Structure 1
Amino acid sequence: MALRKDNTNIAEDLKRRIRVLCWVMTSPQNLHVKTIHIKHTWAKRCNVVLYISSTTDKSFPTVGLNVSEGRQHLTEKTMQAFKYIYDNHYNDADWFMKADDDTYVILENLRYFLTSQSPKDPVYFGHHFGRYLKQGYLSGGAGYVLSKEALRRLIQKGNNTKICNNVGENEDLEIGRCMENIGVKIGNSSDSLGRTRFHCFTPELHLSGDYPSWFYRFDAFHGKNKGIDGISDYAISFHYVKPNHMYDLEFYVYHLRPYGVTSGHQNLNQPAH
């Protein structure tokens, strides 16, 4: 039986026009337990992909930074990763996506969303928490994407320890504090119906809405969203995805089709909704 040949012209055109560098935060102990499955699934759709660890592994390959492993070093590891990207890959992309090694990302939907955004704006997008800071901050696990201008400001201004804290275990909060201090805004990533695109948990948990109590306290914006009507049809990311479920999502997103039903094509001259 011949394999189905999808028409990917629109997705391929977006990949050429909207260049996304993905970097995955990982560690030596997770490399062949978690990260290898990202490499075999969604990461191949990035324009550039980097695996950031504390040890260089040329066969994978990983970029080894001079940072100790452990939660208490996550902020330092993140800041050094963005510095490495700025020094070595700034001109290779227009958007820079950070993800954990248990995050699943649908790159086509990310690029579609970014068609209505400008990399020249000081902005970053992700799942918005409304605690601790005036503008809140973005969940690290759900992944977040920086514009080219946001990355430039982060590196050129964020190396001042009076402005940005370069150490600590709460990476997403400290990055959020730094962004607020350097004038990088949190952009609205919900669709026109208020549905979420970046997700802190698995698809199953967001569908059931059986969230932990802390989530309602932190997510002041979309915490009550749940079920099919709460998740955007063009969702971008999910977190806490187990290695075997990476392949489940690959199948559901890229292979499973209901016979006789054709999904509507979006007009790329209109803003992503």
Structure 2
Amino acid sequence: MMRNKRKCVCALFLLVITTVTIFSITRSDLYQSTLEFPVATNKERIVPTLPPPVDKYVDQLLRQNNSKTDFVDDSPAEDLKRKIRVLCLILTTKQNLLTRARVVNATWAKRCSMYFFVISFQNNRTASSQNNITDIIATPFKETREMLVYKVQYALMYVYNNFIDQFDWVLKADDDTYIIMENLRYLLSQYSSSEPGYLGYHFNMYLQNSGYMSGGAGYVISNRGVRRLAEFGLTVDGACPITKSYLIPEVSEDFEIGKCLKIAGVPVLGSVDSLNRETFHPYPISQYLLESLPEYLYEWSNNKPETGVDCCSAFSISFHYMKPGLMLLVDHLLYRTLVHGRGAGKDPRNAFKTGEVKDMKTPKIIINGV
């Protein structure tokens, strides 16, 4: 019976996911801040935008101040939110501000205690004009993969210098990462932010007795870990040189940050659940359900990746490579859909308007004699 239920739930979820193609990426007005951008010249590439239906839905999310789900008692989650302050650093680009970043801002980012979009700005005048914007960290580096590590280092030093007493943990994620913040705080409640620590999806590669965390799946560093990273790594000349090896053909942000954390004495913490299932995921949920993970993942992962109905922890925290439509769909299912008998906090009898329907509208067309 339980196996049939799981198959049914999985099939339903897959059916819903296949409908996600009606949403696809791209449209305008960023988020609720007063962020301004330089006017594009005719020579500049047109900034992509979200399709109108997707953009309209995002607008609705941004206009709603109340993020509570009807009929749900979310007091345990709100209590953890007050106790565990998570500062989120979300890597994005100027090209993605009106697409991926806009969707992240409308969904999971607002559940962070504090959050910043980390962007590269080459024009110093433009960057300085953003200094009064509290949700942007403008870095002076080029928008290339090789510069990602410097972009993240810059952002970590920024929050260390300006907000070190205002957070317990720092989460680094990408603009196509979806984070379930309530589950993240639940995991973090098992640890102390006053001790150095670092966790996420564990790649056991390159660094002996350590490995490093997948950047795309998101990784979390404790307050004490950020302090150690800054004071014994990033601010010490020569402490964390960029690795140049034929084994690593390109500069890898997640590897370099993991290496510097190891040098600074920040240990790796566990993030799998009691059934040994992963909570952080470097690929979208659909690839885990459909058993289509890349081969390298089985070699690199510290824990063997699982697929199918038992792929992921019930307390999953993150999924990477989430397109805007899929991100909106998952967010809606998690926060605006309930299953009776599984978490509804109020009397379900009050959920429906029952009784005979009498206030019906007159049909536009009526068949005589019926």
Choose from 185, 204, 228 the match for 2:309.
228
Q: Which amino acid aligns with 1:84?
A: Y
Name the CA distance, whole Å, in 2 between partners of 1:227 and 1:52: 34
Q: TM-score w.r.t. structure 2 length?
A: 0.67
Name the CA distance, whole Å, in 1 between partners of 2:254 and 2:140: 20
Work out whether residues 75 and 166 of structure 1, in 8 Å CA contact, stay in contact via their aligned partners in 2. Answer: no
| Paired residue secondary structure (1:125) | strand
| Paired residue secondary structure (1:35) | helix
Q: Which residue of 2 aligns with 1:251?
A: 332
Deviating more after overlay: 19-28 vs 247-256: 247-256
**Cα shift at 1:96:** 0.4
Choose from 17, 20, 39 the match for 2:105.
39
Establish whether residue 91 from structure 1 lines up as the match of residue 197 from structure 2.
Answer: no
| Paired residue secondary structure (1:96) | strand
Work out whether residues 20 and 96 of structure 1, in 8 Å CA contact, stay in contact via their aligned partners in 2. Answer: yes
Q: Which amino acid aligns with 2:219?
A: Y
Work out whether residues 239 and 263 of structure 2, in 8 Å CA contact, stay in contact via their aligned partners in 1. Answer: yes
Name the CA distance, whole Å, in 2 between partners of 1:264 and 1:170: 44
Establish whether residue 151 from structure 1 lines up as the match of residue 151 from structure 2.
Answer: no
Name the CA distance, whole Å, in 2 between partners of 1:59 and 1:117: 32
- Ranges in structure 2 where 5+ consecutive residues have no aligned partner: 1-68, 122-126, 244-249, 346-370
Name the CA distance, whole Å, in 2 between partners of 1:161 and 1:106: 37
Name the CA distance, whole Å, in 2 between partners of 1:166 and 1:48: 30
Q: Which residue of 2 aligns with 1:162?
A: 238
Name the CA distance, whole Å, in 2 between partners of 1:68 and 1:175: 18
Establish whether residue 139 from structure 1 lines up as the match of residue 214 from structure 2.
Answer: yes
**Cα shift at 1:201:** 0.4
Establish whether residue 116 from structure 1 lines up as the match of residue 190 from structure 2.
Answer: yes
Q: Considering only CA atoms, is the larger Rg found in Structure 1 or Structure 2?
A: 2
Choose from 190, 201, 204 the match for 2:286.
204
**Cα shift at 1:164:** 1.0
Name the CA distance, whole Å, in 1 between partners of 2:288 and 2:344: 24
Name the CA distance, whole Å, in 2 between partners of 1:214 and 1:193: 23
Q: Which amino acid aligns with 2:314?
A: D
Name the CA distance, whole Å, in 2 between partners of 1:254 and 1:218: 33
Work out whether residues 116 and 134 of structure 2, in 8 Å CA contact, stay in contact via their aligned partners in 1. Answer: no
| Paired residue secondary structure (1:91) | coil
Establish whether residue 214 from structure 1 lines up as the match of residue 296 from structure 2.
Answer: yes
**Cα shift at 1:181:** 1.2
Name the CA distance, whole Å, in 1 between partners of 2:302 and 2:201: 11
**Cα shift at 1:88:** 1.1
Report how many residues are paired. 261
Q: Identical aligned pairs, as a percentage?
A: 38
**Cα shift at 1:62:** 2.0
C-alpha RMSD of the superposition: 1.9
Q: Which residue of 2 aligns with 1:69?
A: 143
Choose from 183, 188, 195 the match for 2:265.
183
Work out whether residues 73 and 344 of structure 2, in 8 Å CA contact, stay in contact via their aligned partners in 1. Answer: no
